[in-house]
């Protein structure tokens, strides 16, 4: 009985020491190492790619889209509009999701038809010129990017609302257009949050 008790105690002590060791090495050491490497190699991304205005206040993240609408949900004409969002009431970071509606769903088809008409009317273009990303939400509901085609049909409207020339707006769009990853993966995109912040900064 005593031998059995001693063996049990010894086994428990080994287990406790192993748990403590792995907690320190993997729970603390590994986490600290990864955090340090991230802060040194990619400090902006590791901190959430936060965007700040001229006063230093955080106004968003380059990785998370946001709505540019008034209190009633109407698009603000002086800002580029993002793609639709199915996350909560729209770009709700606590409710990231897509609509989960299939391409043959009647509700989705009706929503797309309505969105196409609204986007065309807002930007003064024909419905046939409205690109797909202007009327469909991303899988996360938080994608901050739009296609260059969607940015292009918004240029005249934004320029008129801000009293700028279309060429001025086009220049900023070009500056905030990101090419394909590694030169061949994906499609070129425009980060709406960064672009709108750049316009506000230009106006001071």
Arithmetic mean of pLDDT over the chain? 88
Cα gap 92→50, rounded to integer Å: 17
Predicted pLDDT of residue 132: 94
Supply the range of the domain harboring residue 18.
Answer: 2-43
pLDDT of 45 over the 80 cut: no
Residue 64's DSSP bridge partners are 61
Per-residue pLDDT averaged across 174-183, rounded?
89
Residues comprising the chain, all counted:
204
Q: Are residues 192 and 146 in the same domain?
A: yes
58 shares a domain with 10: no
Residues 147 and 68 in one domain: yes
The pLDDT of residue 4 is above 90? no
User: Is residue 137 domain-shared with residue 175, that is, in the same domain?
Assistant: yes
For 96-191, where are the alpha helices, taking DSSP H only? 106-123, 148-162, 166-175
* 173, 100: one domain: yes
Tell how far CA 39 is from the center of its chain: 21
Please compute the mean of the pLDDT values over residues 131-152 and round it to a whole number.
Answer: 93
- Tokens linked to 188: 């070129």
Query: What is the average pLDDT across 123-127?
Result: 97
What integer is the mean pLDDT of 118-146? 94
The reply to whether 194 and 156 lie within a common domain is yes
What is the number of domains present in the chain?
2
> In terms of domains, do 54 and 132 share one?
yes
């Amino acid at each position: 009985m005593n031998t059995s008790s001693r063996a049990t105690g010894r086994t428990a002590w080994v287990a406790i020491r192993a748990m403590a060791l792995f907690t320190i090495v993997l729970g603390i050491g590994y986490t600290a190492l990864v955090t340090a490497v991230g802060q040194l190699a990619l400090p902006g991304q590791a901190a959430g790619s936060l965007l700040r205005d001229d006063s230093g206040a955080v106004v968003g993240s380059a990785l998370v889209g946001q709505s540019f609408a008034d209190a009633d949900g109407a698009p603000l004409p002086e800002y580029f509009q993002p793609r639709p969002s199915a996350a909560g009431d729209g770009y709700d970071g606590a409710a990231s999701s897509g609509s989960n509606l299939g391409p043959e769903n009647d509700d989705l088809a009706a929503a797309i038809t309505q969105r196409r008409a609204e986007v065309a009317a807002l930007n003064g273009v024909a419905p046939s010129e409205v690109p797909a990303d202007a009327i469909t939400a991303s899988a996360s509901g938080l994608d901050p990017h739009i296609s260059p085609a969607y940015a292009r049909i918004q240029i005249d409207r934004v320029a008129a609302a801000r009293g700028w020339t279309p060429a001025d707006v086009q220049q900023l769009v070009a500056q905030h257009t990101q090419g394909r990853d590694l030169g061949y993966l994906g499609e070129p995109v425009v980060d709406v949050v960064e672009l709108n912040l750049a316009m506000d900064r230009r106006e001071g």
